[in-house]
Structure formats: C-alpha cells, structure tokens
C-alpha cells in the first residue's frame, strides 16, 4: 500500500453546545438567608430536639401504659377497667386525667367516691379531685 492510500485521520470540527450561564454576569449577589423556623435549632442540636419533644413522648407512653394496665389487669373488668366491683375508680399513680391532672395519691375513699391528690399541670399547683362512684355498679355484671 502506498502512503497516499492510507487514510489519514480526519479532524472533525468540534460541535458547539451552548450552555446557559450558571450565574448572572454582574457582581455576585449575597445568599438569601433562610427564614428562621421553630425547628431550625433542633436540626443542628439533637439534644435540644430530644428535650423539646420528650414531655410529649412521655405523655403518650404514660397514657398507653395506663390503658394497657387497665385492660390486662387480673379479674373482671367494670366500666372498661376504670372501676372496681363496688364502682370506685381504680387509681393508677402517675396517670393523667383530662390531659391536665396527674394523680399522685389517694386521700380517701367513701360511699360516694374516691378523693385523689393530683397535680394541675396547667396552673402548676396541687389539687384535690373527687371522682364519684358509678351509682348503678352494685347491680351490674362485669363487662366482657
């Protein structure tokens, strides 16, 4: 083969692809700060996030615990586990009543009800609460 018969590599013209500019041609604009949100500090400080939400989590766990304890307790269930056979409220210490009052102790029990010492979470003070007995409990049978 002769040298003229050899094919020489041909140079191809580069294809021109135009790209959009990434930034404006003028001076660089300062970055826009993100709007502050309530969750912003929690994202950078995990201990703060845990402490902010720990009380809500505790309340959910406590409510679930009290519910399960009432339903899984031994013996027949009266008033879905809230009352004993005489119609008196079954006290669970630490239980939260009406999402406001935390039960601390039993002050007394009588024929009309049970008196509890509770802590009012809204006003941050101790209170006494009387829970009346179910009037017709003596003649009813346990719930299934």
Distances (CA, A) of 115 to 21, 63, 128, 138, 139: 76, 21, 7, 20, 23
Q: What is the mean pLDDT of residues 20-37?
A: 50
Task: Express each pLDDT in 85-132 by its tens digit.
Answer: 888 888 889 899 998 999 999 999 988 899 999 999 999 999 999 999
Distances (CA, A) of 127 to 37, 47, 59, 100, 105: 37, 33, 20, 11, 11
pTM greater than 0.75 (yes/no): no
State which H helix or E strand residue 105 sits in.
Answer: strand 101-109
Cα separation, 7 vs 77, in Å, equals 98
CATH number for the domain running over 41-137? 3.30.200.20
**What's the pLDDT band for 134 if we cut at 50, 70, 90?**
confident
What pLDDT does 67 receive? Answer: 85
Q: Where are the domains of the chain?
A: 41-137
Task: Express each pLDDT in 39-88 by its tens digit.
Answer: 555 567 777 777 778 878 888 888 888 888 888 878 888 888 888 888 88
């Amino acid at each position: 083969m002769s040298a003229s018969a050899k094919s020489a590599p041909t140079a191809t013209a580069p294809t021109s692809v135009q790209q959009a500019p990434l930034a404006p041609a003028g001076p660089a604009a300062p970055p826009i700060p993100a709007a502050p949100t309530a969750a912003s500090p929690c994202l950078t400080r995990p201990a703060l996030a845990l402490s902010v939400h720990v009380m809500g989590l505790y309340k959910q766990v406590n409510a679930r615990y009290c519910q399960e304890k009432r339903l899984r307790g031994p013996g027949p269930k009266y008033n879905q586990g809230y009352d004993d056979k005489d119609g008196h409220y079954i006290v669970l210490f630490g239980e939260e009543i009406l999402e406001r009052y935390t039960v601390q102790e039993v002050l007394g029990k009588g024929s009309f009800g049970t008196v509890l010492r509770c802590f009012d979470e809204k006003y941050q003070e101790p209170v006494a609460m009387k829970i009346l007995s179910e009037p017709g409990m003596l003649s009813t049978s346990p719930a299934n």
